[in-house]
């Protein structure tokens, strides 16, 4: 491990460490992440009509995302425990068979919420898969990404627009 590396989760000897954010002032921080679940059009119709026996897939996925954002530090080893002040989840079919999931997480703290937004989006997608796998095992979860982060010492970052592409047919 290069001791001059920019990877902050390693000390000068290459050992994993949690970054000390104790001296950093709390500031408003926001992160937005997105992923998509690609599925058969018939599966999308069942979700939209709330016709799956497990219940309202989108509402369960929304709750799963909110819960995941609050517990990210239990899943990602070097994440700090954060007081998440809000988590918003948008679930939208952008094309037949493509469910786009966008999460927006906010805190007022000493470190960012990028991981919370990413974990929330991925957990919502996994929840959709879990609830629908009995009717569509071929679903794919694609393009998990950070769209933007705001606040903190490093300032704002916004990804150039990315569009979700349909999966190629075999």
Length, in residues, of the chain: 170
Whether 136 is catalytic: no
Tell me which of 6, 56, 73, 130 is the catalytic residue: 130
Sheet holding 98-109, edge to edge: 84-95, 98-109, 27-38, 140-150, 157-158
Helix (H, G, I), strand (E, B) or coil at 72: helix
What DSSP element (H or E) covers 61?
helix 57-70
| Segments in 90-168 forming alpha helices (H) | 114-132
Helix (H, G, I), strand (E, B) or coil at 107: strand
Residues that are catalytic? 130
């Amino acid at each position: 491990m290069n001791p001059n590396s920019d990877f902050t989760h390693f000390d000068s000897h290459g050992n994993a460490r949690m970054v000390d954010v104790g001296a950093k002032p709390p500031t408003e921080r926001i992160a937005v992440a997105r992923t998509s679940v690609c599925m058969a059009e018939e599966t999308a119709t069942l979700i939209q009509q709330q016709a799956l026996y497990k219940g309202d897939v989108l509402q369960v996925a929304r709750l799963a995302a909110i819960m995941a954002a609050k517990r990210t530090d239990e899943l990602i080893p070097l994440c700090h425990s954060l007081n998440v002040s809000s988590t918003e989840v948008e679930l939208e079919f952008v094309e037949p068979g493509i469910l786009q999931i966008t999460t927006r997480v906010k805190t007022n703290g000493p470190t960012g919420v990028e991981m919370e937004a990413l974990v929330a989006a991925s957990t919502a997608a996994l929840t959709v898969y879990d609830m629908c796998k009995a009717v569509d095992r071929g679903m794919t979860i694609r393009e998990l990404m950070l769209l933007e982060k705001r606040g903190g010492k490093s300032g704002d970052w916004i990804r150039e627009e990315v569009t979700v592409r349909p999966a190629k047919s075999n």
